């Protein structure tokens, strides 16, 4: 039983030693946790300790119980889903933020939080070549950012609906491509628009939203009495990383009076390297845009930047000030007015540390390196007779599959690739994820970790080929 007051310096020393050691041995762990569901819960006491315990005991359990149940996103062989990485500056900022423990619900509850947030989101906009006149703020995730944007669009289209609700009103419609992220559906569910009113449109052969299909859908919806609300364009779709034709979508939205929201959660950060600015062409005409530094900009989870040309629409949708939060007004921005969440973490610190540590040129180099590694992998796939690419590779994600040697239908191919993936991931040295593209099961490799080198990508390719060989003879 610990009777001593907790010593900050002792704990910080333990934590920093632990982090340091973790970093150096991260590659010794299997990337994907090998525990069965419920394992950790079965290891931990069901009730909290009645008396405090010494930190050595917690750290021992961290080693023995928590680590085996961790999937190591910071492992350089983590090549699944989307590129993600933390960094030392980002982690240090998290520590400082926890020590400060401020809540930026109002400007006056922490002027530094509000003002640093305004500065770093403006830096991020500049780094990506987006309009610096936009208002920006940080949220936890792209899902929240898209929800907030569609909520602002809803209030602008049906003023006062936040008070009345949507009962008896017109049925709103939101449009996006079949490849758009499920957060669009979830936003519609939460906002009372309804998932049935998310119209997912056909894409072209490169998985980009077809503008002609969108136009037809809007016209047809108006004819049937629906009220078109917004288009969500994606720059870097989750599966294929395709980029919707934003300039044409901006024209259409302008002509039709629809809100254009751009989901650039993953690929937006690529534009920090000027040669990837093409991906954000036309986005300066969007009404709102989200991009996540926590996906591809060395910033630890969570950090999503939401920008808008219409901050007043967000205030109209979300501002609600109970008596205890009233202020003298004045020039200060109270960020609670732009969102449904009151409390606000000091996330700006980590993005600030990241910019200070790497500079925009250092960040651009990381992006370039990741894209080059992914393209190298794609070349190996293309050169191999046993594998094929399933989508273009504009960024750092490669979708491919094994051409199952015994042929068979789509279901047999999917099953063979599923088995291949399971074998690769069971090896523990790399982790790839999967998706479906045009009805085909795809192996999905994403380079995004700052520590991932050519050797890791080469290892992934060797593991994939070895798994295919083993399955072919089994």
Q: How many residues bind ligand PLP (CB under 6 A)?
A: 15
Which residue is listed with tokens 């273009």?
Answer: 392
Q: What are phi and psi of 308, to 5 degrees?
A: -150, 150
| 292 lies in the binding site for ligand PLP (CB under 6 A) | yes
Rank residues 394 and 428 by Cβ distance to ligand PLP and give the closer one: 394
Strand 172-177 with 397-402, pairing? unpaired
Cα 167 to Cα 161: distance, rounded to the nearest angstrom: 9
Q: Is 266 in the site for ligand PLP (CB under 6 A)?
A: yes
Query: According to CB under 6 A, which residues from 124 to 153 bind ligand PLP?
Result: 141-143
Binding status of residue 238 toward ligand PLP by CB under 6 A: yes
Q: Is 399 in the site for ligand PLP (CB under 6 A)?
A: no
Q: Which residues of 26-46 are buried (b: 16+ CB within 10 A; e: fewer)?
A: beebbbbbeeeeeeeeeeeee
Return the residue of 114, 203, 304, 425 that touches ligand PLP, per CB under 6 A: 304
Q: Does 183 bind ligand PLP (CB under 6 A)?
A: yes
* Residue in 300, 245, 318, 304 with CA at minimum distance from that of residue 278: 245
| CA–CA separation, 134 and 153 (whole Å) | 16
Q: What share of the chain is helix, strand, coil (3-state, %, to 5)?
A: 50, 15, 35
339 binds ligand PLP (CB under 6 A): no
Q: Using CB under 6 A, which of the segments 60-68, 236-244, 317-325, 452-460 binds ligand PLP?
A: 236-244
* Binding-site member from 156, 173, 181, 344 for ligand PLP (CB under 6 A): 181
* Binding segment (CB under 6 A) for ligand PLP, from list 262-270, 273-281, 392-400, 440-448: 262-270
Asked if 109 touches ligand PLP (CB under 6 A), the answer is no
Query: Considering the complex, what minimum distance in angstroms separates the CB of residue 182 from ligand PLP?
Result: 8
Please pick, from the candidates 117, 155, 244, 263, the single residue that binds ligand PLP as defined by CB under 6 A: 263
Distance in angstroms (rounded) separating the CA atoms of residues 246 and 309: 16
Query: Token pair of 226, please?
Result: 């629906």
CB of 138 to ligand PLP, least distance (A): 12
Is 97 a binding residue for ligand PLP by CB under 6 A? The answer is no
Residues 6+ apart with CB under 8 A from 445: 79, 80, 374, 377, 397, 398, 399, 400, 432, 457, 460
Q: Which residues bind ligand PLP (CB under 6 A)?
A: 82, 141-143, 181, 183, 234, 236-238, 263, 265-266, 292, 304
């Amino acid at each position: 039983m610990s009777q001593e007051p907790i010593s900050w310096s002792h704990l910080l020393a333990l934590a920093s030693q632990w982090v340091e050691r973790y970093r150096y041995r991260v590659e010794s762990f299997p990337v994907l946790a090998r525990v069965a569901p419920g394992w950790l819960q079965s290891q931990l006491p069901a009730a909290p300790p009645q008396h405090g315990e010494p930190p050595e005991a917690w750290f021992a359990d961290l080693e023995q119980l928590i680590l085996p149940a961790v999937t190591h996103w910071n492992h350089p062989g983590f090549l699944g889903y989307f590129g993600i990485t933390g960094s030392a500056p980002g982690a240090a900022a998290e520590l400082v933020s926890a020590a400060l423990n401020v809540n930026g619900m109002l400007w006056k509850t922490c002027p530094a939080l509000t003002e640093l947030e305004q500065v770093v989101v403006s830096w991020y906009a500049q780094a990506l070549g987006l309009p610096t006149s936009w208002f920006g703020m940080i949220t936890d995730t792209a899902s929240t950012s898209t929800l907030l944007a569609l909520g602002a669009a809803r209030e602008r289209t049906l003023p006062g609906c936040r008070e009345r609700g949507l009962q008896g009103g017109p049925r709103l419609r939101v449009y996006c491509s079949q490849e758009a992220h499920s957060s669009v559906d979830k936003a519609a569910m939460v906002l009372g628009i309804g998932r049935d009113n998310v119209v997912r449109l056909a894409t072209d052969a490169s998985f980009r939203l077809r503008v002609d299909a969108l136009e037809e859908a809007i016209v047809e919806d108006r004819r049937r009495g629906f009220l078109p609300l917004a288009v969500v364009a994606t720059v870097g779709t989750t599966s294929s990383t395709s980029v919707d034709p934003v300039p044409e979508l901006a024209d259409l939205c302008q002509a039709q009076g629809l809100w254009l929201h751009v989901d650039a959660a993953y690929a937006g950060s690529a534009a920090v390297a000027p040669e990837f600015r093409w991906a954000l062409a036309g986005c300066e005409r969007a009404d709102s845009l989200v991009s996540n530094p926590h996906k591809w900009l060395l910033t630890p989870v969570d950090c999503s930047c939401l920008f808008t040309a219409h901050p007043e629409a967000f205030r109209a949708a979300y501002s609600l000030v109970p008596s205890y939060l009233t202020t003298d007004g004045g020039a200060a921005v109270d960020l609670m007015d732009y969102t449904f969440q009151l409390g606000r973490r000091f996330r700006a610190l980590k993005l600030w540390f990241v910019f200070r540590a790497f500079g925009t040129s250092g960040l651009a180099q990381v992006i370039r390196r990741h894209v080059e590694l992914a393209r190298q992998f794609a070349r190996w796939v293309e050169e191999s007779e046993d594998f094929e690419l399933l989508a273009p590779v504009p960024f750092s994600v490669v979708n491919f599959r094994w051409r199952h040697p015994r042929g068979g239908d789509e279901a047999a191919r999917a099953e063979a690739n599923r088995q291949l993936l399971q074998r690769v991931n069971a090896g523990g040295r790399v982790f790839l994820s999967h998706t479906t593209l045009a009805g085909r099961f795809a192996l999905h490799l994403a380079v995004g970790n700052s520590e991932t080198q050519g050797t890791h990508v080469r290892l992934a390719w060797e593991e994939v080929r070895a798994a295919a060989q083993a399955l072919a003879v089994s």
